Amino acid sequence: MKSAITLSQVPEAAAGPFVFHQPLAEGFAAAKKHGYDSVELFFPGPDFITAGEVKALAAEHDLGIAAVGTGAGMVKHGLSLTDPDASRREAALDFIIKMIDFGGQLGAPAILGSMQGKWGGDISREQALIWLAGALKVAGDAAAKHHVPFIYEPLNRYETNLINHLAEGAKYIEDHNLDNIVLLADLFHMNIEESDVAQAIIDAGRHTGHVHFADSNRSAMGFGHTDAAPIIAALKQVGYTGYLSAEVFPKPDADACAAQEIKAIRAALA
Ligand code: LER
Ligand code: MN
């Protein structure tokens, strides 16, 4: 397993669970200074910066790109894959495909979190899940062209009412033959929803493809009450070799957070 830390360039997400928010070159330098293997990028959109510029920063600091988020499509533009309006669903998928192509040039998968949306009003859960599966199929195929998966993230109940549990996500992937979709195990969401986080990872088996390594309170691991040891054991048991990524609040400040998180990742993997 490898370490990653989040760099955000989205002003609307200034209060979100991202560690470094300063200009990108400084964020890369900070990630390297703290000893991370890679960065996870949260950008306003696919045209924020060229893939070439990001590649140059990654090479300069000897950092990998773990993943790119798509959440700006929701926080900046209010786009979701389960919007009742077909033209808004289309715009959401278009945004996501462009982010997949951007990440793909960096060899990095894109993540679907908040842009999955919610069901309600005139839209049944069944209908929303059909739309979501259709979009995931298209996104998975687009990602496959770059030889990366597309990452789907079950969220806690306060952020979506579609899929809140990892095992539900695994079954959904299998039922819809979503071959190039992997699951994101965000330990903060799982702390809220799962009765046993480690067992949920075991139950989801080979489907976990990315991990947001957050403590129970969404601070750096070690600043809350999650026991990371059985979770790491579960990830090893299912053969997970991907990233443990610091999508956490920069508390008490970004540097102290980054230092605590890398310490926790190293201790967990020792
Ligand atoms: C994104 O990775 C996430 O975990 C969500 O809570 C953002 O809305
Ligand atoms: Mn997350």
Output the DSSP codes for 203-235: HHGGGEEEEE-B-TTSSBTTSSS--HHHHHHHH
Please state the separation of Cα 91 from the chain's center in Å.
Answer: 21
**Which atom of ligand 1 is nearest to 153's Cα?**
2
In this prediction the pTM is 0.98
Task: Work out the burial of residue 270: count CB atoms within 10 Å of its CB; fewer than 13 is exposed, 13-18 middle, 19 or more buried.
Answer: exposed
Ligand 1, CB within 6 Å, residue ranges: 71, 113-114, 153, 155, 159, 186, 212, 247
Architecture of the 2-269 domain: Alpha-Beta Barrel (3.20)
The backbone torsions φ and ψ at residue 94, rounded to the nearest 5 degrees and listed phi first, read: -60, -45
Task: State pLDDT tens for residues 72-129.
Answer: 999 999 999 999 999 999 999 999 999 999 999 999 999 999 999 999 999 999 999 9
pLDDT bracket for residue 233 (50, 70, 90):
very high
Question: Pocket of ligand 1, candidates 96, 150, 151, 155: which has the most ligand atoms within 8 Å of its Cβ, to mutate?
Answer: 155
Contact 125, 165 (CB under 8 A): no
Contact 170, 183 (CB under 8 A): yes
Q: How many CA atoms lie within 13 A of 199 on its CB side?
A: 4
